[in-house]
């Protein structure tokens, strides 16, 4: 199978100013993408483009739009817009493609390009390879790009997206609920507060700046997962009913209950699946998640009577599995459900094919409000998760893990060290120069015991990949939130 040179599991990403995240490269990417789109259509194709708040976004959009237009594509500028909004509007407008300029939860110094098909979903591997083949035929070109290169402004589309979100939860009112909202200084900075205020919430809106350099800085869903203490303090101080945090492009969401406990993607998937199963609306009576999901989900599915289907890591694979289920289940009113513990939840129906953090949060609140007096902590406590840690460490290279016998031998020892081991997942990140290890164990082991092994494995992979000493290692306590420190050697 051919390996992509530029496209990873979530588009193309990198540090701005370094190829492939330079205007010159992105201009050529626009040319190559436009040629592929033009070859697939007999009429002029339309491509919509939106971005998050990063300072590098406009420069990359000018370059991408110029390349697309020069290859015969009509370009519409959606401005700053959540990724799921761009996906929805791609389908709503009838565009041939959509483009998202965002690096999601990554730092502001980085950026990325994600290409969507006419259905608002990530393009296929074959399409990625067709674009890369065209890229190889385009020589470098120095160009100047001005604001006129952004494309046709589409000012009414933001309201179209807001209305679609509101119509997803007909009759929902949030009056009487005090909500702390963390918008990560990202793509949701305007959309999320507007929606929650229209629904009547008593809102404490945080991180709603748009200065281009503070996206994800000490904010957002990933920060909440690793450092929950600050938001928990705000929830207590404000006497809020809950908190909601989005990532930089707003396709993920993590919640915090009134007691300061995290409600992550695994919680939401379990609660949604149970509700949809009981009401007969769960597509194929199946919940789709990945191999990184907490093992308690399997037990929960067995107890509640619905099926659990697991895919490789990546929302792309979850969506593909949901679409296959939809092909064989044509009943009206069914909702496909899948996602990841990171809070990327896909509620698949005819008009929505990707995760939307705002929509996910509202659907959960809609279920919660149907039982008067039910708190989020009481709701989330319906499932008790196993101890799970996810370690992430920078690596200087990515040799095939199977080619490292010393590393494989270390992994083989883990079941003997953790008799209560439930599952293990070892892989490289598909978007960053990082190695990730998920370890999960039952109540025979503490999270600290599991973390000790994760630290040891990360130290070893950094050594075997010639990664400089001191490079970043983080071990996340997935079940309770927070980073677990390196164990002492005493």
Query: Under DSSP, is residue 77 helix (H, G, I), strand (E, B) or coil?
Result: strand
CA 316, CA 184: separation in Å to the nearest integer? 24
Burial class (CB in 10 A: 0-12, 13-18, 19+), 416: exposed
- Tell me which residue of 455, 464, 459, 385 sits closest to 423, measured CA to CA: 385
| Residue 77 and residue 150 in contact, taking contact as beta carbons nearer than 8 Å | yes
Nearest in space to 33 (alpha carbons), one of 115, 95, 142, 124: 115
Q: How many CB atoms lie within 10 A of CB 9?
A: 16
- Residue 117: name the closest of 91, 153, 79, 142 by CA: 91
Instruction: Give the Cα separation of 394 and 400 in Å (integer).
Output: 16
Residues 426-453 as b or e (16 or more Cβ within 10 Å = b)? bebbbbbebbbbbbbbeeebebebbbbb
Nearest-5° angle of CA 193, CA 196, CA 197? 80
How long, in residues, is the chain?
490
Q: Catalytic residue among 56, 71, 104, 426, which?
A: 104
By the 8 A CB rule, do 13 and 106 touch?
A: yes
Bridge partners of 427? 436
**Phi-psi map region of 33: left, alpha, beta (phi>0 left; psi -120 to 50 alpha):** alpha
| Residues 234/181, Cβ–Cβ less than 8 Å | no
**Which residues are CB-contacts of 177 (< 8 A; sequence separation ≥ 6)?**
201, 202, 241, 242, 365
Selection from 467, 414, 403 nearest residue 438 by Cα: 414
Active site residue 377: no
Bridging pattern class, strands 282-290 and 253-257: unpaired
| SS3 state of residue 188 | coil
Catalytic (active-site) positions: 104
């Amino acid at each position: 199978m051919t390996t992509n040179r530029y496209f990873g599991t979530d588009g193309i990403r990198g540090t701005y100013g370094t190829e492939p995240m330079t205007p010159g490269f992105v201009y050529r990417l626009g040319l190559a993408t436009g040629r592929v789109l033009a070859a697939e259509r007999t009429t002029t194709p339309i491509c919509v483009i939106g971005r998050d708040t990063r300072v590098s976004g406009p420069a990359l959009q000018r370059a991408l739009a110029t390349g697309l237009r020069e290859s015969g594509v009509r370009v519409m500028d959606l401005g700053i817009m959540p990724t799921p909004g761009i996906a929805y509007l791609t389908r709503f407008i009838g565009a041939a493609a959509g483009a998202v300029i965002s690096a999601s939860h990554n730092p502001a110094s980085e950026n990325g390009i994600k290409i969507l098909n006419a259905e608002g979903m990530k393009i296929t591997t074959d399409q990625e390879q067709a674009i890369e083949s065209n890229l190889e035929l385009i020589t470098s070109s120095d160009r100047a790009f001005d604001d006129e290169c952004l494309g046709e402004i589409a000012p009414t589309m933001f309201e179209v997206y807001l209305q679609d979100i509101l119509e997803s939860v007909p009759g929902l009112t949030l009056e009487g609920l005090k909500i702390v909202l963390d918008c990560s200084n990202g793509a949701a900075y305007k959309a999320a507060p507007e929606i929650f205020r229209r629904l009547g919430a008593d809102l404490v809106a945080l991180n709603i700046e748009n200065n281009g350099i503070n996206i994800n800085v000490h904010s957002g869903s990933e920060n909440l997962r690793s450092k929950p203490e600050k938001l928990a303090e705000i929830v207590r101080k404000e006497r809020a009913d809950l908190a909601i945090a989005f990532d930089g492009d707003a396709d993920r969401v993590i919640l915090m209950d009134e007691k300061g406990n995290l409600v992550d993607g695994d919680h939401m998937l379990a609660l949604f699946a149970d509700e949809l199963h009981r009401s007969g609306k769960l597509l194929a009576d199946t919940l789709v998640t990945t191999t990184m999901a907490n093992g308690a989900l399997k037990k929960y599915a067995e107890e509640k009577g619905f099926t659990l289907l697991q895919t490789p890591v990546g929302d792309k694979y979850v969506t593909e599995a949901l679409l296959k289920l939809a092909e064989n289940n044509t009943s009206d009113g069914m909702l496909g459900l899948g996602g990841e513990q990171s809070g990327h939840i896909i509620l698949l129906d005819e008009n929505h094919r990707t995760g939307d953090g705002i929509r996910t949060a509202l659907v959960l609140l809609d279920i919660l409000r149907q039982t008067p007096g039910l708190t989020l902590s009481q709701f989330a406590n319906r499932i008790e998760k196993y101890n799970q840690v996810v370690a992430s460490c920078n690596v200087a290279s990515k040799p095939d893990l199977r080619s490292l016998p010393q590393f494989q031998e270390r992994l083989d020892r883990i079941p003997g060290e953790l008799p209560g081991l439930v599952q293990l997942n070892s892989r490289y990140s598909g978007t960053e120069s990082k190695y990730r290890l998920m370890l999960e164990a039952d109540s025979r082991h503490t999270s600290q015991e599991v973390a000790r092994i994760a630290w040891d494995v990360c130290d070893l992979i950094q050594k075997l990949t010639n990664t400089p000493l001191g490079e970043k290692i983080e071990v996340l306590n997935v079940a309770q939130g927070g980073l677990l420190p390196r164990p002492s050697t005493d």
